[in-house]
Structure 1
Amino acid sequence: MVEWFLYLPQSGLGVADLLERSLAAEAAGFDGVAFLDHVETPVAPESPIWEAMTVATWIAARTTTLRIGHLVLCDAFRHPAVLAKQAVTLAEASGGRFELGLGAGSLPDELAKFGFTTDGPGARITHLGETLRRVRNYWGVGDDTEPPQAPHPTHPIPIVLGGTGQRMLGLVAEHADWWNLPADKVDRMDEYLPAIGSARISVQQMVAFVKEGDDREKVDSKSRRVFGSLGAGLVCGTAPELIDYFKNLETRGAQRFYIWFSDFARLPSITEFGRSVIDAYQDSNHPER
């Protein structure tokens, strides 16, 4: 059975808005919620953005079933020993609902502007590999070249890695429970699969959801004006069309979808998507329900 996560960038929204959307997603049948991790909003630095681990902690405290994660935490923002401790603490506090999503940093200008690093992509990938090794050691499940921290996790903490470069895919094969395919690479999924080892496949997908009563042309044109650069990473459709679309991705190996709504996850979209897509999708796969 596939999993459904709401991708909820915490930029331009109040903390109360994030909670409201997360609670709506939980009620609508989403399995989890994922945030992003930046010091300033990409492309729109004037737009306020909340710190990623703090938001995740707050949402975990106010929900009961949603798994909580990120696409993805930036390796350069946190020392591995601190990151390991944060992950164990949040996993314990949430009853095992936290997943550790990590990446090497996607915006070099942001990393330099705030004094994190001026390393190039190759050096950042190398550092990410070291972080992954050290975090697992601190959790007591690695190669024991660092002293383990106490306490050890009492719940497994899945590791989610995104990216499509050759070296990143090597880290996926070595360390990841989940590999996330970025939205702008959705049409190239099949070419990456031989390199990901045993990691399960998730897909980030921008969705222009045509709800009942919506004007399809308006939904499609508005979403393409804002997010058309994603190419195949943006799909516009009614509930039946989206069900067919995601079933095709599932047949190609996808086991989780991070739904990124083009209307910035307005409550009616979350609720109707749960009813007309998630529920209907599961029912079509399990007609005995």
Structure 2
Amino acid sequence: MTTRPFRFGVVAGNAPGGESWTALARRAERLGYATLLVPDTLGTFAPFPSLAAAAAVTTTLRLGTYVLSAPNRTPGQVAWEANTLRTLSDGRFELGLGAGRPGAEADTSRLGLLHGTPSERVSRLAETIDAVEGVPILVAAAGPRALRLAARKADIVTLAMPVQASEDQLAAKLDELYELAADRFPQLEINANLAAVGEDLPPWLLRQIGGEPRGTGILTGSVEEMAETLRKRRDRLGVSYVSINADYMEAFAPVVERLTGT
């Protein structure tokens, strides 16, 4: 479905201190990961300053938000922050945006802001995209409004699907995006996130998925088996950009080495 080469990102949002955080960024770069991605929750580091710190100690690693919740900032504020980080990172910044994950209204409320209705949040997302210039835009989308916006405006699309979503469910959502994007679809880079790899899954994830290691958000098997699964997924679904929970950065590194650029 796509001839795009593979690239890989690490999703991280916490560390004991500055030295640990910058060491993680340097390690991700050495292991061959293309991007360091920071979520937007009040339980993790603030994305922009943490990415700026990572930019200062790396040279090739790209930096991204994964993803900013549009209700938490004005479009002008996002544009200001994004332009600054683009400059400080010498063009290595990628802006990930979304209308707000499930439960994100609690963070918005703590910030003293209004979360808004789904329609209002997607409108804010559209305004934010229009306010930003000069950086690649990743949009997290699942519902019809966000998918329509991603089809028109995004450079990269990640589908906001649950960890336990099957390949058929992911394919159905991508079919929707394909219809909406039409001639633009070949320009879109498709991202999928892995919450875990291997058999040793954390208790919170096992509870979420009902105790069985299933779904496109989990990858199991040997290095070659995991690599082959991702090759087949790219052939079928066009997923060429894969992000991984930082807890599994080291375990997944052999797959990154095997597939990056192929």
Shared fold (TM-score, shorter chain, > 0.5) = yes
The residue number in structure 1 matching 2:61 is 66
Quickly say closer, same or farther: Cα 1:178–1:282, change in 2 above 3 A.
closer
Matched, 1:200 2:189: yes
Alignment of 1:2-21 (within 5 A): 2-8=6-12, 10-11=13-14, 13-21=16-24
Once residues 70 and 248 of structure 1 are traced to their aligned partners in structure 2, the CA distance between those partners, rounded to angstroms, is: 27
Once residues 83 and 176 of structure 2 are traced to their aligned partners in structure 1, the CA distance between those partners, rounded to angstroms, is: 29
Which residue identity is paired with 2:55? A
Q: 2:245 aligns with which of 260, 280, 283?
A: 260
Q: Identity over aligned residues, as a percent?
A: 24
Q: For residue 223 of structure 1, give the secondary structure of its aligned residue in structure 2.
A: coil
Q: Is the 8 A contact 1:182 1:204 kept in 2?
A: no
Once residues 260 and 109 of structure 2 are traced to their aligned partners in structure 1, the CA distance between those partners, rounded to angstroms, is: 45
Matched, 1:234 2:218: yes
The residue number in structure 2 matching 1:120 is 117
Runs of 4+ off more than 4 Å: none
Q: Is the 8 A contact 1:183 1:206 kept in 2?
A: no
Matched, 1:89 2:84: yes
Which residue identity is paired with 2:170? M
Once residues 121 and 166 of structure 2 are traced to their aligned partners in structure 1, the CA distance between those partners, rounded to angstroms, is: 24
Once the two structures are superposed, residues 109-149 of structure 1 have per-residue CA deviations (whole angstroms, 9 ceiling, x without a partner) of 2222332114222221122122222x14xx3xxxxxxxxxx
* TM-score (normalizing by structure 2): 0.83
- Per-residue deviation at 1:51? 1.1
Which residue identity is paired with 1:178? I
Matched, 1:225 2:206: no
Once residues 120 and 77 of structure 2 are traced to their aligned partners in structure 1, the CA distance between those partners, rounded to angstroms, is: 21
Once residues 223 and 239 of structure 2 are traced to their aligned partners in structure 1, the CA distance between those partners, rounded to angstroms, is: 19
Q: Is the 8 A contact 1:227 1:234 kept in 2?
A: no
Greater C-alpha Rg: 1
Which residue identity is paired with 1:29? G
Structure 1: gaps of 5 or more residues = 42-48, 140-155, 210-219
Q: For residue 50 of structure 1, give the secondary structure of its aligned residue in structure 2.
A: coil
The residue number in structure 2 matching 1:245 is 229
Q: 2:52 aligns with which of 13, 32, 57?
A: 57
Bigger shift: 245-254 or 168-177? 245-254
Q: 1:170 aligns with which of 130, 144, 148?
A: 148
Q: For residue 93 of structure 2, give the secondary structure of its aligned residue in structure 1.
A: coil
- Per-residue deviation at 1:34? 0.4
Q: CA RMSD in A?
A: 2.1
Once residues 281 and 74 of structure 1 are traced to their aligned partners in structure 2, the CA distance between those partners, rounded to angstroms, is: 31
- Per-residue deviation at 1:102? 0.6
Quickly say closer, same or farther: Cα 1:280–1:131, change in 2 above 3 A.
closer
Matched, 1:160 2:163: no
Q: Is the 8 A contact 1:37 1:51 kept in 2?
A: yes
- Per-residue deviation at 1:224? 5.3
